[in-house]
Structure 1
């Protein structure tokens, strides 16, 4: 009888030790999951769901290094964005940004990378997507068309939207460097404002003079915002 009790006692103590050891582990697991969720949330812009600059820059560079000539880097800018805020209020401006980001994210797909440029007040997005050279034209046409779809507010206002798009690829620019490709795409984006079409960046865009990191020269606007009835 005593031997049975001693065995049961040893089993009970072992079970208690295992249970006690498991409790901190479970608590730490919950804490770790919560921490990862907070980190993931902090890496994304809360309005649009796009990545913040300190998160998207290293990811895009890895993306470019990995996919090379199949990688495409695009800069998308909402034309005359300030007028939405001035005419319709900041809630409408926020809606424009959120819908535009959602469209870009959907176009980029699950393996694409979408970031918001310019911080909380930025109306530009950068996107990296894997696209075979032979499909660039059709894919950029699809993005351009998607971003031109009117946006309806909760009050039923139908607002026309135009987004300038410039895109750069390593094979055309001759580099996989994120900064240089961004510069080229940015220059092409400003040309897009004047032409109304998505523009493929060339070496000239990458080498264009800039002011404060942005392309110098006249920044035309092809699609002014019009008042909704």
Structure 2
């Protein structure tokens, strides 16, 4: 056997091992970029895609928060809550894609970004709210959730406008939730509510300890 052939035979298993390792690493990286429960893009991937979409023309940001989610968890257990989150993810992806992008921001909160040129946004928000409120099946039961939806539109050309756009949609969602649910399309040119670390004050993770309080 030639020296070259011997080297190739010896290197074969090692090369195969590295190929398997590379595929495994790529799979782990892809998993890290997606929400494990819904398979939707996680926030970091969503924001990268959003910046690219923002450069193409008029867009709408939509923030969705489920109503009654805690009641489902408390009454039927966390597995039922997980089923509700997965079903919401499926419905949102079918609603927004392939023209738009959808992500789970965390908990029972989702976001979408849509190009405005091909959408009747008011009609789409009505349809989306009705669909998210439509009951779903879980272990022989029929469960129902509500939804609060906020939307904001802009014609940005700079990626640094993305954070403000999402905050405007989040503020509209908050106003819709305070009004009992439904949807609200804001025309505010800039965010108007107080923020903590770039997020609406009062959202989970934005509370700061009071003076003299526990750290």
Q: TM-score range by the shorter chain?
A: 0.7 to 0.9
Question: Using the alignment, how far apart are the partners of 2:195 and 2:27 within structure 1?
Answer: 38
2:200 maps to 1:210:
no
Q: Which residue of 2 aligns with 1:109?
A: 97
More strand by share: 2
Q: 1:104 to 1:13 in 2, by over 3 A?
A: same
Q: CA deviation at 1:143?
A: 2.1
Q: Secondary structure at the match of 2:57?
A: helix
Q: Which has the larger radius of gyration?
A: 1
**Cα distance in 1 for residues equivalent to 2:154 and 2:174:** 20
Match of 1:36 among 20, 26, 32: 26
SS of corresponding position for 1:68: coil
The correspondence of residues 157-168 of structure 1 with structure 2, limited to 5 A, is 157-168=141-152
The number of equivalent residue pairs is 198
1:61 match: secondary structure? helix
CA distance in 1, matches of 2:158, 2:152: 10
Check conservation: 1:43, 1:51, Cα contact below 8 A. yes
1:14-163 aligned within 5 A: 14-21=4-11, 23-65=13-55, 67-69=56-58, 71-110=59-98, 112-118=100-106, 122-132=107-117, 135-154=120-139, 156-163=140-147
Task: Work out whether residues 67 and 181 of structure 2, in 8 Å CA contact, stay in contact via their aligned partners in 1.
Answer: no
RMSD: 2.7
Secondary structure of 2:145's aligned partner:
coil
Q: TM-score, normalised by structure 2?
A: 0.78
Q: Secondary structure of 2:134's match?
A: coil
Structure 1, gaps ≥5 residues long = 1-8, 217-229
Which piece of structure 1 moves more, 28-37 or 47-56?
47-56
What TM-score results when the alignment is normalised by the length of structure 1? 0.74
Question: Cα 1:133–1:111, aligned 2, differ >3 Å: closer, same or farther?
Answer: closer
Q: Which residue of 1 aligns with 2:212?
A: none
Give, in angstroms, the shift of residue 30 of structure 1: 2.3
206-215 vs 80-89, greater mean Cα deviation: 206-215
**Structure 2 unaligned blocks of 5 or more:** 203-215
The structure richer in helix per residue is 1
